[in-house]
Chains A and B, each alone.
Chain A
Amino acid sequence: MEISRREFIHRMMTLGFSTAAATALFPLAACSKETAPLPISPNAPPSTTAPSPTPTLTTPAVTDGLAVVRGKSPSAITEAAVKALGGIERFVKPGNTVIIKPNICVAYHTYEYAATTNPEVISTLVRLCRGAGAQKVSVMDQPFGGTAEQAYLRSGIQEAVRAAGGEMVIMSRAGFKETNIPEGKDIKKWMVYNDALEADVLINVPIAKHHSLARLTLSMKNLMGLVLDRPQFHFNLPQRVADLASLLRPELTVIDAVRILTRNGPTGGSLDDVKMMNTVIAGTDFVAMDAYAATLFGLTGADIPVVRAAAGMGLGMMDLSKVKITEISV
């Protein structure tokens, strides 16, 4: 692959910045997107574009602990989890624009069916962001089954978000731009929702669900709602999801495991497949978080192809023994 001079200089500068940030143990989440729009992991050589034949499980330079909070109130556990990470102020500065990306994949069922993210978890985050002085908190997803209008309504998320001072956005086709994925191993560019790249803060709020092809759909898989041509994304799905995660790198991830869908996901539709877990997992290391969420299903991170691919890219820590996990009950 040829690299133009400008691109080379840009990459070197980005590398320099990332290394400096890593050395200073500067949390990734604090990297402002204006200065490092396409951060490159310090461990990935900048000019190597071909996937390495034997992906090594690299230790990310920045590891951040997870907060796992259990309790009856989705709102209370969400708030406690964010607090355990250092509070919402760590992520959201006054005047910031925030995009919250729940999983609202279909318009078929109410949230009790665990196909869509718990509305209370979402509205709590909206409230916290607004409290931290966020200028605008937008919530959006791109359902594949049914219209966004109906999905927002039926999931209960629209009502909860509006009450908390956020706004529901319907993603229009024109909002997607072809975007380079510099660290992508399989895909180098894709049509990505531009506002999600430009927002000051992206908060990813998936629900933990069964998914035949990916085994589970957790936080990284949830980012697929921010791209176009999703059927085509399924070729080599695990690597492509990891590639996308390397581009979007949400500042904060909150996995809703209040209810989990254990079978017939991601669409669901039977309460028999829903299991109450009364748990949320919050953090910035989405690889570690997905690995933790897998344990709720009796699996490990290594069982989930997306997690393996992302760990192989150095996007986060799959080995939970090396992650500081703060467990709280409220």
Chain B
Amino acid sequence: MAEALINHKGEKSSAKWRYFRRTVQVLALLIFLYLLLATRQNSTTWLPHDLFFRLDPLTGITAMLASHTWMAPLALGIITLLLTLAVSRAWCGWLCPLGTILDWTPSRRLRKDKIDIPSFWRHGKYLLLAVIVFTAMLGSLTLIFLDPITLLFRAIASFILPGLSALLANTGIPDWLNNLLRGAVINDQPFWGPNVAIALFFAVVLVLNAIRARFWCRYLCPLGGLLGLIGKITWLRHYVDEHKCISCRRCAIACPTAAIDPAQKFAANIAECITCLKCAEVCPTQAISFRNNWKLAPQHHDPSRRRFLVTASLAAIAAAVLKIAPLIGERISSFIRPPGSSESSLQTKCIRCGECARVCPTGVIQPAAPSGAKGKLWTPQLETRLAYCDFSCNSCGQVCPTGAIAPLALEDKRKTVIGIAKIDRTRCIPWNEGTPCGVCEEMCPVPQKAIAFNEGGGQGRGGGRNGVQRPHVLAELCIGCGICETYCPVPGESAIRVLPAPEA
């Protein structure tokens, strides 16, 4: 088996493996995109819609650590860990959709390299991993936004698709194309400016590729760090037959993660090897194979006790500086949160994946912007001037992979209070100008109407100036869905605004 993966029959067989790997990569990326596009209100997918988050052990481990909860679906990450035990970081080289995209992103190869990056930079990913795990143990998931799967999903769901949708919907594409794309690409989600930050972060990851192929995977990816640690005791690993090697360096040049060290007789740093098999493919003498070589690899990253302590204290300092630990974090929020979630559930369970924002039919769920979000960066919150929480929808709780947003039955969701509307009488048209308006009351989805023209409720035509009806919010009925704020015809800031409900 070990010999079978790369045998000695020569280039033809290597080429076969190359195509096989490329096929697997494309398939995995297509499945990732399919699941993303198919995640829509009340839709079903032929695989779990959050498959990649389930397979991602980093999101699973940290969410479970932070919330002290067992999350059975996320335990699927064990498969990836077992895969890594068998074939090193094959996840990175074969399955990771971000890795595949980075493979297709232009980059420089070793030969042309001018900038020398010391190899200890590779410890960056372990440091990030340590900080993420450490802060998770303290109960904060803030830094999970660095996870590669969440990073890619978020960028597509919160920036690329809404942007594309807005572009296409306003350019008058032919009906058949519109019908084809409707739902998957074209939907009612508005484009939300602050998500540019999400796109920038993604762009930086891509641009770094210009410095080194898979720069992200080599130096930064915390998931790569986790898999690299496990990959050190992997079963199937890179092996160079010293009798055949002619020291031509082709493998070292071809290696996308520069895992092969010419100075070490072309041995691969197994924590960096993504099992892409390119080295074996380019080797003119078929000196390279992947075989059972079950022994502990040379420790490139040796977390001795001192190092561990250094890493841990760095992590603690980072946690404190970033105000990401709940020790410091505030529990009172200025955000309207999705129904079924709370500040604490989001702090300890939200992996910032963006599934809720993707599925939201109106696009009211938007990632909390960097400014003011502190430890809550890119957690879901409701932009109620932009859109509203649809009275007929409970999808965010259905798609949340971690239960940060609890799945609610539609009947319960309709009664879940997420905020309360408040009228600004200095801006409200009937209150301020004495001319008729009642859009907020018209829109209110609560069956008994949480906005009334009589202070005490009811349907009377309460008199104001000139006999114009003036709206009142009935606090005991308002659920904070925000549709009144969305549709308020006052230009600029709405004359009726939803404020966060006090947390129970």
Contacts and interface: CB of A to CB of B under 8 A. Distances in A.
Contacts of B441: 212-213
Contact of A264 (B41, B361, B391, B447): B447
A267 B469 contact: no
A210 B436 CA distance: 17
Interface stretch (B125-133, B259-267, B329-337, B482-490): B482-490
16 contacts: A107-B390, A145-B388, A145-B391, A146-B392, A147-B188, A149-B183, A150-B42, A150-B393, A170-B182, A210-B459, A212-B438, A213-B441, A213-B442, A234-B438, A235-B435, A273-B447
Nearest to A267: B445
B469 A212 contact: yes
B449 A264 contact: yes
B442 A174 contact: no
A173 interface: yes
Contacts of A145: 388, 390-392, 443, 445, 483
Interface in B448-504: 448-449, 453, 459, 469, 483, 487-489
Interface string A174-216: 1100000000000000000000000000000000001111000
A263 interface: yes
A266 B442 contact: yes
Nearest to B388: A145
Contacts of B388: 145
Interface residues of A, number: 34
Which of A151, A154, A234 gathers the greatest number of chain B CB atoms within 10 Å?
A234
Interface string A291-322: 00000000000000000000000000000000
B78 interface: no
B371 interface: no
Given A107-B390, A172-B169, A267-B443, 6 more contacts: A144-B443, A174-B173, A212-B438, A213-B442, A231-B489, A269-B445
A175 B453 CA distance: 36
B86 interface: no
B353 to A, nearest CB: 22
Contacts of A211: 442
A154 B392 CA distance: 9
A231 B439 contact: yes
A263 B448 CA distance: 9
A49 interface: no
> DSSP majority for the B interface?
loop
Given A150-B361, A231-B488, A270 B448 contact: yes
A35 to B, nearest CB: 27
A217 to B, nearest CB: 9
Interface string B18-43: 00000000000000000000000110
Interface in A211-268: 211-213, 230-232, 234-235, 237, 263-264, 266-268
A274 to B, nearest CB: 11
Interface string A145-166: 1110111001000000000000
Contact of A232 (B183, B362, B443, B489): B489
B392, B437, B489 pick with most chain A CB within 10 angstroms = B392
A229 to B, nearest CB: 9
Contacts of B13: none
Given A146-B392, A212-B459, A267 B444 contact: yes
A263 B392 CA distance: 20
A173 B429 CA distance: 28
A108 interface: yes
Interface of A: 106-108, 144-147, 149-151, 154, 170, 172-175, 210-213, 230-232, 234-235, 237, 263-264, 266-270, 273
Interface of B: 41-42, 169-173, 178-179, 182-183, 186-188, 361-362, 388, 390-393, 429, 435-439, 441-449, 453, 459, 469, 483, 487-489
Nearest to B469: A212
Given A147-B41, A154-B392, A234 B444 contact: no
A194 to B, nearest CB: 10
Contacts of B439: 213, 231, 234
A173 B170 contact: yes
A270 B447 contact: yes
A174 B182 contact: no
Contacts of B361: 146-147, 150
Among B41, B169, B390, max chain A CB count under 10 A is at B390
A266 B438 CA distance: 12
A86 to B, nearest CB: 33
Contacts of A147: 41, 187-188, 361-362, 390
A263 B441 CA distance: 12
Contacts of B42: 150
Contact of B391 (A146, A175, A235): A146
Q: Which 3 A-B pairs have the closest CB atoms?
A: A269-B447, A213-B438, A174-B172
B446 A172 contact: no
Nearest to A173: B169
Nearest to A265: B442
Nearest to A264: B449
Given A150-B361, A174-B172, A212-B441, A269 B483 contact: no
Given A108-B392, A145-B390, A173-B169, A235 B437 contact: yes
A147 to B, nearest CB: 5
A135 to B, nearest CB: 16
B53 to A, nearest CB: 25
Contacts of A210: 459
B170 A174 contact: yes
Contact of A213 (B437, B448, B449): B437
B164 to A, nearest CB: 14
B408 to A, nearest CB: 16
Contacts of A174: 169-173
Contacts of B489: 231-232, 234-235
A37 B393 CA distance: 41
A237 B437 CA distance: 8
A263 B186 CA distance: 36
A151 B393 CA distance: 11
A269 B414 CA distance: 11
Contacts of B469: 212-213
B173 A263 contact: no
B479 to A, nearest CB: 12
A234 B459 contact: no
Contacts of A235: 429, 435, 437, 489
Contacts of B436: 213, 237
Contacts of A150: 41-42, 361, 390, 392-393
A37 to B, nearest CB: 21
**For A174, A210, A230, A263, which residue has the most chain B Cβ atoms within 10 angstroms?**
A174
A136 to B, nearest CB: 12
Contacts of A151: 392
A264 B171 contact: no
